[in-house]
Amino acid sequence: MKIVLDTQGGDKSPEEIMRGGVKFAKNSESEIIFVGQKKQIETELKRHSDIKYSVLHAPEIINMTDAPAEAVRNKKNSSLVAGINAVKEGLADAFVSPANTGAIMAASLFRLGRIQKIDRPGIIIALPTLKGKKVFVIDVGANADCTAYNLLQFAIMGQVYANIQGIVGPTIGLLSIGQESNKGNRLILEAHAILREIPNFVGNIESNKILEGEVDLIVCDGFSGNLILKAYPSGAAFALKLFKREIQKTLRTKLGGWLIKSALKNLRPLIHPAQYGGALLLGVNGVIIIAHGHSDSEAIKNALFVAKNSVENQLIPKLKKRLDNYQSCCY
């Protein structure tokens, strides 16, 4: 298996990204193709002669502030476009990048195209729950405006993905502002009616129930999904910050705070979940992982494992097969 790793585009590019690639390569049988500025890559990797890798030279860089579609058209020799081309041409099995989400979307759509019956790809991410297992959420930002059929397609694809992540018969909840089927905006009311054809659809779920882990997959438009994706860690960080202030108030609690320091450290992945794995762009004709822009080497390593796992478990063939069973998941 070969995975292309985009060394450009994140806050910590390129060194930290390459270190993530090295960490992954040391722990897996897969080969990494580093894409970016050849000289830069070779200088960094000289120190790690024991890993299997190759380099794809593509010196242009797409920045966070670039207009996605335009950047993809104009910067043909960027690491992002060259990397996705490698997947298109069958030189690699998957692509991982910490770059501009919009640009990754645009390049994937232009070069790989969509899977048949899918109108819009969606971004799926895993959140931690109180039960220990993960909950998957799709879409967390690819489509600010969605139709009910987009949501149906997200549900079908999300179930396939949750399944290859080890969840048998994943249950689906539709994100809304009340549990009852008549609660929600027009999009949700319409989606609720057509999601009934999906097995294990359990109805609406409110944003304060998701982290309890009762439902395996949450379906929503990209605007709503992005709002909650950012709100949970923000609420968590807020609580812990106020808690740290509270324990400074007395000698007794200060001492207590010193004793529990290690426990607080263990909560970091919870506060920054997006940095601890990759988001998958589901619906394009290839395995594309969007790593968080703030990703460090550990996050990149995790994102690469998400890619490896998806390829090994035949994500794309399984998506196509499942969609074949749906006669009417589009307009």
Residue ranges binding a copy of itself (CB under 8 A): 128, 130, 141, 144-145, 175, 177, 183-186, 188, 206-211, 221-224, 226-228, 230-243, 246-247, 249-250, 252-253, 255-260, 262-264, 266-267, 270-271
Enumerate residues 6+ apart whose C-beta is below 8 A from 183. 176, 177, 204
User: Whole-number minimum distance, CB 221 to a copy of itself, in Å?
Assistant: 8
User: Whole-number minimum distance, CB 70 to a copy of itself, in Å?
Assistant: 13
User: Whole-number minimum distance, CB 138 to a copy of itself, in Å?
Assistant: 15
- C-beta closer to a copy of itself: residue 59 or 128: 128
Owner of token pair 């969840």: 167
- C-beta closer to a copy of itself: residue 196 or 249: 249
Long-range contacts at 185-189 (CB < 8 A, ≥ 24 apart)? 187/146, 187/147, 187/148, 187/151, 187/221
Rg (CA), the chain: 21
Tell me whether strands 94-97 and 53-57 are parallel, antiparallel or unpaired: unpaired
User: Whole-number minimum distance, CB 235 to a copy of itself, in Å?
Assistant: 3
User: Whole-number minimum distance, CB 102 to a copy of itself, in Å?
Assistant: 9
- C-beta closer to a copy of itself: residue 1 or 255: 255
3-class secondary structure, 71: helix
- C-beta closer to a copy of itself: residue 65 or 325: 65
Closest by Cα among 275, 238, 228, 301 to 11: 275
- On whether the CB atoms of residues 116 and 320 are closer than 8 A, the answer is yes
User: Whole-number minimum distance, CB 204 to a copy of itself, in Å?
Assistant: 12
- C-beta closer to a copy of itself: residue 1 or 242: 242
DSSP state of 9: S
Q: What does 216-260 look like in DSSP terms, one character per residue?
A: SEEE--HHHHHHHHHHHHHHHHHHHHHHHHHHTSSHHHHHHHHHT
- C-beta closer to a copy of itself: residue 218 or 280: 218
